[in-house]
Every structure is written in structure tokens, then in C-alpha cells.
Structure 1
Amino acid sequence: MMRMSRITDRSSIPGTYVAFEPTPTMEAAIAAATPGSRQPSFMQAAHLDLRSETSTSGEQDDIWLGFTYRIPGRFDAEAMARALTRWVRRHGVMRGWFVTDADRETGWARVDLAEDAIGFAARDEGSIAAAEVNDRVSDDFRAGCNPLGRIGYCVRAVVGEDETIFYLGLDHSYTDGFSFFLVYFELEALYREESGGDAAELPPVGDFMDFAQTERERFRAVDLSHPSLQGWAEFWSAGDEELGRFPLPLGTTVGEPVELEHHHHDLLTGEEALALDAAAERLGTRTTQLVYAAIGLAGRDLDGTTSLRFLNPVHTRDAPEWLLSAGWFINVMPVHVDLEGGDVVEVAGRVRQAFRTARAASQLPAARIYDVVEDALGVKLSQVGERFMLSYMDLRHLPGATTWGDADTVLVSRGARDTNVTSWIMREDPMMYILSIRPETPEARESMTRVYTRAGEILRSLI
């Protein structure tokens, strides 16, 4: 099972602290590199703009995505350096960074390195105590995961006598969160080969920066007449000018962000989830629709909530070359489900229709919609405080998924501040569970536990 936590809560070991840094050849290439013609994607540009706006305040210093896992036995640092080199060469988005350029359409220019210029070497930085590891790693990530001016990712390891903990941190402009579910399988396969094991059999992948150029050109000429804008306008007007709200109060105030913390909730066992699949088929619906309906009805049962409104992330990996590619292949669509009357099966039917309506509204990248609306109307959608995010992810068939638990894989972050909730409903063979990032308030903790516990009860009533 994949877990999520703050870096400070990740268990560690004492050992040798190893940094994986660019080789002298790569450093020379970085120093000599010049901007090319490629531009960031819409989502990348939005992130880079935010980073730039807050670069002097330090607010964005900790906005990195981290991934860590354990490697049993003797660790071969040189083999891992070779594996990391191959992995970065494999994914085009990893081979560059961004610089400001006022003459470009986006205000940003992409700097890319040639594949053969990429190379990493392991550097022994001495012994470290277990209690010091997390602070050391997070400080390195804070400095190293910044894509403004040079490579914006950071790789570290703590090498013990019998096991090693490996750490990878990336600025968000490189990948969406889903890409991390693929990192472990690829790096582990490459490391196994480089340390004398079986050859890694990885299919070819495309370069996300090529995808970004196609996306940008495709949606260059967009204005308020685009059909997607109607769906967003209806969603906006139906929700008191908010972009979604968790079903119960969170103890926060819009515009006054608080610290966020991670929240794990076991929704169904693996056996219960399979039984729910059978129930969904019997009832003429789908498991995903029943899960969303149950969350909405939990809010109705507990607090009289009359609608479930959220932004649902959807992937844009629409061709084979993008399926395993690292990058930001994510859009969001606005979902509004009416909860007035009806049982869980009826509401599941409304969920189905709500998603059909939302898909029409998601034909444009959300960041592009924000740009158009902000330019035309002066409404700052990208800064609206209430944006409940909810997503269902079936991870059972992803490569490496069955070994995540054995490898102690953990998605980590330093922390952040906000007023809203993001929840991922995760489906793995052993369990259906919910990972969330929520405000660090007693009310949010209680509200989320109550809603998701009640949702589980509703689902189990169908089995």
C-alpha cells in the first residue's frame, strides 16, 4: 500500500548520507546551456508564475513532491547513479528547467540539456544519525527542488548496514502526483539491472515538453465563446462563486490558510471492495459512482448537505507514448451532484450524469480557462479559496503496485498552508482507502473522519 506523510514523520535509519549530484560533464553543460523555443504547459506556467511571485517571501520553498522507499541488502551507490542517469535521460521533462523571459508569450523559456550530457555521480557526505535524516533531506530538497535557473530536483540516500532509504524530491513543475506511482517501478528496475540483475524492460515514452507544445498550440486561440466555459460558468454560479466545498465544516476561513496535515482513512477491505464491484454490476451502476454517491450522502446524512461539489482531477495521457511518461498530464473538471432526495443508487446515477456534464467542461486545460476568465472578467479563479478536490484512482494494475508495501514506499512533503481539502480514493488489492491533505484543525479532523466513516457504512450496506 502506498502511504503519504510529512517528511518529518517518515521513519529513518542511521547510516552514510549519500548525495547524487550532476557529474562535471553535466555541470559544464548546465553552465553552457541556453534557452530554446519550447514553452511551459498551461499548468507548468501557472506553477512557475506562483513560484516567481513568492520567491522572495519563502512561501514556495517547501512546495516539492517527494518519494521515498527502502532498498534491502547491500547498496551499490554507483549502480544507483547509473540508474538515475538512465531514468533522467528517459524522461524529457527531467532534462531541463525554466528561466524568465519577458519576450516570450508565457514569460518563461525552457532550457534543455542533450541526453548524452546527463550524468549523475554518488557523493559520500559522511555519517548521519536517524534523528537527523528528515531535517537534512528536507533542507536539501528546499534548496534543490527549484526549477528557476537550473535543474529542480534532488536525490539522496541514507545507506545503512542492511538496508538503504532512497529519497527523490521534485519541484511540481516536473510532474503531477500520478507520475510518482511509476517512479518506483522504473528506478527499481534500472537499479536492479545496473547492480547485476535482470535487464530492465521499459517501453519507450514521449517527452512531456513536446506534449506541452502541442497542447499550447491547440488551445492558443480561446475566448469566452468556447463551449467549455459554459460548463464552468454554470458550476461557478451554482455554488455561490466557489469551486467546491467539503461536505462538513473544516474550521477554516477563506483567505486565511492554516497548516495542512495528512489524513489516512481505510474505506473498505479488498474483499469488501470486490463485493462492491459485484453489487454495482447487479444494481446497474459502477463502483466509482457508488463511492462518490456515498461520500455525498454521508454529508447529507450528517449535516443536511444538498449537493456535492468538487474538482475532479483527470489524466490527459491520451496516447500510448504518454502512458508511462513523467510530466504534468493532469486536468480538472468541475463536478456538481444534486443530493436532494434519493437513495445511494439513484444518487450514483446523478453522479454518472454529473461526470458527463463535467467532461464537456474539461475539454480545455483548467489553467487556460482561468487565464481566459481572469483576462476577460477580472475574476481571479486561480486564487479562489474553496476548492475541494476529490479523485478516484484504481492502482491495481500499475507496474510495481504489488510491491509498494514491501518497499515501504511513502509520498512525502514538507508541509503547506491552505483552507481546503484534497482527497484521493485509492484502490489497491488489499484495501480501498482515502489519502487526504486537510487543514490542521480539530474540526477538519473530526469532519473528515465522520464523512468517510459514514461513506464506508453506506457502501457496506450494499454488499
Structure 2
Amino acid sequence: MRVLSADLWEPAPGQVITWDVTPRAGFVATPSALTYNQRNHLLGAHDGEPSVWITAAFDVDGPVDRDALEAAFRDLVAAHPGLRVEAVRRPAPRTVGLVRHAATGLAWRRQEGPVTRTADDTRELLVAELSRRCAPFGYPAFLPAAISRPDRSTVVLGMDHLHTDAWSTTVVVDELAARYAEHAAEAGPARRRGSAPAEPAGAAAIVADPADLAAPSGKAAPSDPADVAGPPFVAADDPRLATWHGFLRDRGWALPTFPLPLGVPDGERAPQRTVVRPLADAATADAVAARARSAGASTSAAVLVTLACAVADLGGPATLETLLPVHTREDAAARRAVGWHTTTVPLRIETGDGADGALATTGKALRAARELAAVPLEQVVETLPAPLRFPRVDIFQVSYLDYRRLPGHTASAGRAAHHVSAATRADDLQVWVSRTDDGIVVRARMPRTPTAVATVDAVLARWSELLTALAG
């Protein structure tokens, strides 16, 4: 899986095909649970923040079999409740909520779009459509599309963050590719002449939504769309809640910001700049993993501690404070679910104990931080003795995802699988690290200012040097 942002995407030209999906008259959507991340995302959109979409894209041989692809899209949406939720505005004080549509209550209509001539034209057309169609309010907040070419075509499913997370893009690619191949292989002469694809698969194909799985046996999911899905509140004296509070108290109840200068005045944002670059090749990544294991840590701990050391080497603090997204998928059903199934945990990374000492310390801190995922974020915020402060719109966070452990990994390279995110505006640094068979790659999102360019480029270069040194 190659992780990009829209400003770096170079889709080859061809005929662009899209699908409109609309709820049918007479079908009533049912209330659905809203997670903390979804609520915050929707409140931002409600206040005018730009669409934050994530696109799964992959290649198939030959021109697009339109009927087979439509059937594959239909099957995917039918199978995943997370793709059938709609964000709705509610009266104050709740403001936002979710409802869910039935798969049989959706109408599909194909649009044969223009033939593009260049990668720039193709990207411009698709980004405009994705930004328009993947806005979270209204249904759907996703765009089924394809770029058809005589030799090799590209399948695209863009989704507002409401519907998806990084893990989900791998599930989407894996399932869409399999369903498309099956429908194309089964296509008879009548289907090839353009008759309508079959209706979506029945209830036996439905993948349970983790929000629904959280409901007690024999009981329905929460009936109030403002009810928050997720783990139950922990006890008021739970040490994990106290750890969250201590992290924020030490920061004056403010969320972490990147400690080096980025050249953005307080209260302002700049157009986003994206950098994608390798941090370590496959051999180096394997050696880093072995070094980490010998210190009782993981590759992700090695990645985090070398980032912290790079920041410290360039004038930052000896202790780097950040937030770490972690997945909440705990069983087989959740591993194959499409939705936003992550939470966030705080992490302090110490750099002063030498390479192996810092690795061991970070490994221990990382394991402890992941235990905090059991504390609902809404409980953390609701129990603070002072209001949570947001120094910037963006939050300094570092994400690590080992794609080798995710669905469809072995086939992703042959499919030219891509995860493409919207490019918007930024006022802080956010980092996504990917581990694949090719090594370790980083995508960094930052403000497009001369200061941020110089700062982040220097950090990434030093980070790569330190990972290579750690490999020995």
C-alpha cells in the first residue's frame, strides 16, 4: 500500500466513470451510534472545516467492466454498515448525529465521464469530485469511481473520514478487487451487453459493525443517534484515566504541538505540503526490528525513539510528547470492518538513555500508552478539572502501521494499491509511518511555509540517518 496525499497523486488518464448513490423514497434510515472521533470530525465540518476524505485506489487489468464493478461496489456497501451511515445535523445542544441506511434502500446510477489526457487533468477532476461528493453531511459521503483504459484501469473509492480509517482502505482494496474479479468472471453474454447488475448480497454477507457488536446480546444498538459507541467508561479512580489527566495537566491542559518552528503565526493555517520519502529499506528495517527485539521493544518503538532523537538533535526537547492513533479492532469481525475504528493515546518519548536504553524505555512507554486505549476519549475530556486547550487546529501526532499484517497485503503491490488523502490546510506536523515489504516509509503533512519546509526536511533526513545507525 502506497500512502499519499492528493497533491502527490498522479493517476494515469483515461475515461472517468462515477456512480451516484441515493436513498430510495419510502425507506427510513435508522439511528446509529456515533463515536467520539466521528463526533469531533462532524463538529469541525459543521463549523466549516474542509472535507477530509481518504481514497482507496488500485489497478485491474483491461478496461473497466462497468457492470461487474458496480456489482462489486454494491456488495461492498451492503456488507459494511460503516459505509451506510449518514451524518445529520441535530438541534442544539447535540448538533450532529448518525443514521444508517439499508442496502436495499439505495439506488445506483452510473455516470460516464470525460476522457482525460494527462495525469494533472485526471487528478484535478477526481479531487474536485472527491471534495464535493465526500463531504460528510448527506448521503453518501463516498464516491465510487474508476478510470478506464484499454490496458490497465484504476478502481477508486473515495470516502469521507466518517466512513473509514487507514486500516479500512486495505480492506476496501482487498474486498473490492476480489468481488470485481468474481463478478467479471461470472458475467454472461447478457451482462456483457450492459444489463443491470444483481442486487446486493443478502444478510448472510453482512459484516458486523464493531459499534453493533458492543451492544449486549439480544439488545439493539443504541437507539439515540447521539449515543456514543465505544468502550464503557472506566472507574473514576482507574490509574489509566489518571495517566491521561497527568499528561494533559503537565501540558497546562493543552494537546501536543510539534516543538520545532513551522513558521505559522498563532491562529493561522497555510496550504498543506506533503512529503513522502523512505526512512529505511527492507534490509535496514529488518535490522532495526532485530535491534528493537533485543532491547525488549518493537519496530514501532524504534521508529518513535529515532524521531524523538532527530527532533532533539535539531534543537527540540529531550522528551518528545505526541499523540498516537491506535486501532480498536479486537476480533476477526472487526479486522474486516470498514469504518473509523481508532482511538488516540498520549505518549512521552525519552531520548537520554543511549540507543538501547532509549529503545527499552520507549518500548515500555508504548506498551503502557496502548493500555490507555481502553479509556474512552469522551471520559477523558468530560472529567478534566479544566477545559482542554487546542493551541492549533491540527494536533501533533505520529501514526505507525505495519501493512504486512493487514488484509490483502500480499496482493497489494501487484494491484498498485494506493491510500490517497485530501490535501487541505495545516498548522502543525502530522506523520504517518508505513512498514511494508519494501521497508519503512513516512508521509509527513505540514504547513507549506519556508520554515516548515526547512525544519521538516531536516528532521526527516536526520530520522533516516538515525534508523540506519540503529540498524548497525
Band of TM-score, shorter chain: 0.7 to 0.9
Q: Measured at CA, do residues 383 and 454 of structure 1 come closer, stay the same or move farther in structure 2, by a change above 3 Å?
A: closer
Is 1:112 the counterpart of 2:100? The answer is yes
SS in 2 for 1:311: strand
Q: Measured at CA, do residues 383 and 39 of structure 1 come closer, stay the same or move farther in structure 2, by a change above 3 Å?
A: farther
CA distance in 1, matches of 2:294, 2:349: 23
Q: Measured at CA, do residues 109 and 331 of structure 1 come closer, stay the same or move farther in structure 2, by a change above 3 Å?
A: closer
Counterpart AA for 1:96:
V
**Residue 173 of structure 1: how far off its partner (Å):** 1.0
Is 1:74 the counterpart of 2:63? The answer is yes
Q: Measured at CA, do residues 121 and 208 of structure 1 come closer, stay the same or move farther in structure 2, by a change above 3 Å?
A: farther
**Residue 389 of structure 1: how far off its partner (Å):** 0.5
SS in 2 for 1:268: strand
Write the deviation string for residues 310-354 of structure 1: whole angstroms up to 9, x where unpaired: 101111112221111001110010001233x32111111221232
Q: Measured at CA, do residues 320 and 106 of structure 1 come closer, stay the same or move farther in structure 2, by a change above 3 Å?
A: farther
Q: RMSD in angstroms over aligned alpha carbons?
A: 3.0
Asked if 1 retains the 8 angstrom alpha-carbon contact of 2:18 and 2:110, the reply is yes
Aligned to 1:4: 4
CA distance in 2, matches of 1:280, 1:222: 32
Selected match of 1:206 from 196, 205, 208: 208
Is 1:136 the counterpart of 2:125? The answer is yes
SS in 2 for 1:37: strand
Aligned to 1:394: 402
The alignment-based identity, stated in percent, is: 24
Q: Measured at CA, do residues 289 and 111 of structure 1 come closer, stay the same or move farther in structure 2, by a change above 3 Å?
A: closer
Selected match of 1:271 from 256, 278, 283: 283
CA distance in 2, matches of 1:217, 1:270: 39
**Residue 92 of structure 1: how far off its partner (Å):** 0.7
Name the TM-score, length of structure 1 as normaliser. Answer: 0.86
CA distance in 2, matches of 1:232, 1:303: 27
Counterpart AA for 1:320:
A
Aligned to 1:369: 380
Q: Give the aligned length.
A: 445
Selected match of 2:87 from 79, 94, 98: 98
**Residue 135 of structure 1: how far off its partner (Å):** 2.2
Counterpart AA for 1:3:
V
Asked if 1 retains the 8 angstrom alpha-carbon contact of 2:54 and 2:158, the reply is yes
Selected match of 2:42 from 45, 48, 59: 48
CA distance in 1, matches of 2:163, 2:304: 30
Aligned to 1:344: 355
Asked if 1 retains the 8 angstrom alpha-carbon contact of 2:297 and 2:362, the reply is no
Is 1:289 the counterpart of 2:301? The answer is yes
Aligned to 2:426: 418
**Residue 65 of structure 1: how far off its partner (Å):** 1.7
CA distance in 2, matches of 1:403, 1:244: 37
Unmatched tracts of structure 1, length 5 or more: none
Comparing 86-95 with 450-459, which one deviates more in the overlay? Answer: 450-459
Q: Measured at CA, do residues 337 and 109 of structure 1 come closer, stay the same or move farther in structure 2, by a change above 3 Å?
A: closer
Unmatched tracts of structure 2, length 5 or more: 188-200, 215-220
Write the deviation string for residues 208-258 of structure 1: whole angstroms up to 9, x where unpaired: 442575793676767976644422222123335442233532222342221
**Residue 31 of structure 1: how far off its partner (Å):** 3.4
Asked if 1 retains the 8 angstrom alpha-carbon contact of 2:301 and 2:366, the reply is no
Asked if 2 retains the 8 angstrom alpha-carbon contact of 1:277 and 1:287, the reply is yes
Comparing 177-186 with 206-215, which one deviates more in the overlay? Answer: 206-215
Aligned to 2:147: 158
Counterpart AA for 1:67:
A
Selected match of 2:451 from 425, 434, 443: 443
